[in-house]
Structure 1
């Protein structure tokens, strides 16, 4: 009789463990909005309380599940031992019984059942889960904190039973099994990345902004529109830090059409295009801090029906310009229309070298060469990474080595000779390891790279840790150029800086001289 009771108790414990496993899977699938709907329909606050502290309740469920599962194994084993006097035979029979129970549970799959019917299961077991959590007192909280210390980031970042990381994993698996197309999976991942991207990462830098001075006439600003290809240009007074408004191509074109047709308003009646300045047609400027998240700012632009904004830094100065197209490109990728001049960010050269744009994002550079640069938060671009590692303003031929990848300043542009392109290649040891080359192939590769360095007037590097190479003469020249750059910047002002970075800089500078 006692063996039968023990067996029934073991089966009961196994059933409770299965129910707890089903509840855990259901709450892992439950979202916060679904929990609020359940609480509103049934008048129960248990689900919401569970979601307020998801980690302790998860720990409590796991503890109770293991307790009942262990109790089921022990009870079944003892029951079989009471029936059979032979210990070895009892152990074999108990193992077969437990194996059969495992097969049944694997077939029914409580966790799969909980995920498939997570709303019903969550509503039915919410009070049970809440009671089991309270029964353990502070134990789940203590265990959660210990787990957070052992594996940092598993406590505070875990805001709900169904988190972003699990959803990303589902998307990746769906893409691997062809449930989702690769393009669709990348689109979903881009939407998640959008919430962690700041406006600073997608804006057009201040040095690349195309602006127009106050007092410019309609023909002058129309010429700037046609030469630059832009449809919205900031109006500045002296420098990019003093922006008075934003002028739109449609406003200028419409006003010129009205002047030709003689249908202008009383404000412009009797005047010509040469007597109307950009100050009279400019609109108000929308400002945004560079630290704002792209996802939030995108929603604001949609509500305000605005397509462009000026980005300001923490000191109130102009950091750059951002458009609605820049934000959308973070989701769908680069958008190029009929008037855009698309320049290659990566140019493959012979001998395994690449010519990279200095404006390339550090993350893209790290992905290109399979590097771990997660700690490089101080710079956003490849040019900035080169200057930071070098420790001074780079000039043509300035060279550094970062984790087995050599960077050399290649092309300069503008009157201040800023780096526009960077040559990048892997050192012979790293390239050989990645390409499967043997040690006998390394000297030949190294000799070939040394020859390239001698032709470029640089000294061949020796294998070793991350270094910044260059002669003393190059260092003095770099310092002299940096000082000269600062003096030029003080004399020329910010307007010449933006003119120099205009895609049609030569024509634009000629136009600026004519305006003066």
Structure 2
């Protein structure tokens, strides 16, 4: 073989190896871009191209053809991605083979040929998988896919066996889920896995790690899981006055209270403490005005709304509290922006919140201060009585049952010769935390009966006093 022919063969093999290496890198970028472009991205770009008056008809038609080709690729996303991966691997292998052929043409030993081909193939594989091409495909997926849509289409046509396998897998799954929704689901799972690996490196404090996990869990958490149910809501009726509302806010600790009509499902609006204070601070006569005079329109959200969407909507609309409705249109509960934040950072308490006592404490000769969660059995043991209450387990539950509504500070009820009085609240939701229990003498009646006293705030209740806070 002449020297000129040898040089020509080596040059041809070298050019072919370079072209295959370039093709492998381009396929790696294309593979990454295909997995990140959605149909919505392409549809929006199609509208922009069709409405762009500065483009000539030739340029517009050329771009539209490219977009149609990209849309066909995205319709069969996994087949196109797998086809690109198949030819990328083939290109890596062939590049190594060509380098081995060059070494053989130059007369090197066989082990040198094998090592040279293997090293080059591995280097090209590492570059295409770990370095620049995939970075470009991830940073500008739309432009990469549109520019190289014919290459991806050619890969799909040359690998019909991959597309057939995709149809079979889709039939086996039988899932009624769009391609873009499935892509979003996969990205979410990949994000969780990446975060878990990052946390395992111990680069973050445990609290920071928990917050990072909670951020990813927001989309899996529904509003019904964090809302305050309707049975725990504090409300005020429409015939209440601003004086009544101020008293209710003072005793309950809430700053935003729903205004209702005949019942809780007849929600009229939301009353804010700031509005009441602004109206009455320099005008005491205004305390006699109806609560409807400061009522605002409430924000409604469905109970099936993901918490991350709820959080962003409340940010956008500048609402700190929303009313949750069920699938039948009834009031299911209330939720605040703090409830969403607590899903990330944990329980939030302000400077007025106090920790509940761990154990009941004697504060008088026969008067006891008990945490709301004190079991009824402890109450029976302390006062040596038998309450015979099977449907409630705690002192708070007993007071709630006697009142027929959610107790607030000042609520009092008597049963079996004992008076239970709510005297303290704690937590951001201002739930009663401490109940004082003391014996009373019942005159002219059976001491096993029950009487109820709700220390006055001037508000007319229908036996359904519900509550929530947002401050």
Do they fold alike, i.e. is TM over 0.5?
Answer: yes
Report whether the alignment pairs 1:195 with 2:201. Answer: no
Q: Hey, what's the Cα distance between the residues in 1 that align with 2:77 and 2:132? A: 20
Q: TM-score, normalised to structure 2's length?
A: 0.60
**8 Å contact from structure 2 (residues 211, 345) kept in 1:** yes
- SS of 1:210's equivalent? coil
Equivalent in 434, 440, 454 of residue 510 of structure 1: 454
* Bigger relative contact order (CA 8 A; separation at least 6): 2
Q: What is the 5 A alignment of 1:55-70?
A: 55-69=78-92
Partner deviation per Cα, 1:176-198 (whole Å, 9 max, x = no partner): 66888877665555444333332
Distance 1:341 1:214, change over 3 A: farther
Stretches of structure 1 lacking an aligned partner (at least 5 in a row): 261-270, 346-356, 359-393, 397-408, 418-484
CA offset at residue 224 of structure 1?
1.6
1:130 to 153, 167, 184: 153
Q: C-alpha separation between the residues in 2 aligned to 1:34 and 1:178?
A: 37
1:282 alignment counterpart: 295
Contact 2:21–2:124 under 8 Å retained in 1: no
Q: Is the 8 A contact 1:204 1:320 kept in 2?
A: yes
Q: CA RMSD in A?
A: 5.0
CA distance in 2, matches of 1:312, 1:226: 28
Runs (5+) with no aligned partner, structure 2: 50-54, 359-371, 374-388, 412-428, 437-451, 461-471
In 2, distance between residues paired with 1:498 and 1:290? 25
Which among 23, 27, 35 is matched to residue 33 of structure 2?
Answer: 27
Corresponding residue pairs, total: 368
In 2, Cα distance between the equivalents of 1:324 and 1:128?
48
How far did residue 61 of structure 1 move?
A: 0.9
Aligned to 2:382: none
The aligned counterpart of 1:375 is none
Identify the residue that residue 402 of structure 1 maps to in structure 2: none
Aligned-partner Cα distance in 2 for 1:294–1:277: 35
Contact 2:28–2:129, Cα closer than 8 Å, also in 1: yes
Q: Is the 8 A contact 1:51 1:160 kept in 2?
A: no
Cα contact 2:99–2:120 (8 A) shared by 1: no
Q: What is the rounded CA distance, in whole Å, between the counterparts of 1:180 and 1:17 in structure 2?
A: 40
CA distance in 2, matches of 1:514, 1:207: 21
- The answer for the alignment partner of 1:305 in structure 2 is 318
Q: 1:178 to 1:272 in 2, by over 3 A?
A: closer
Which region of structure 1 is more displaced relative to structure 2, 504-513 or 118-127?
504-513
- Of residues 241, 252, 258, the one that matches 1:234 is 258
Corresponding position of 2:247: 223
Q: Deviations over 1:259-314 (max 9, x none)?
A: 23xxxxxxxxxx563x4343444333332221123333334333433222221212
Alignment partner, residue 115 of structure 1: 134
Is the contact made by 2:214 and 2:344 (CA closer than 8 Å) also made in structure 1?
yes
| Cα displacement (A) at 1:212 | 2.3
Aligned to 2:124: 105
Change (3 A) 1:79 1:279: closer
Partner of 2:397: 414
Name which one, 1 or 2, has greater alpha-carbon Rg: 2
Give the TM-score of the pair, scaled to structure 1: 0.55
Check 1:279–1:75 CA distance in 2 against 1; reply closer, same or farther (3 A cut): closer
Q: Matches of 1:344 and 1:140 in 2, distance apart?
A: 66
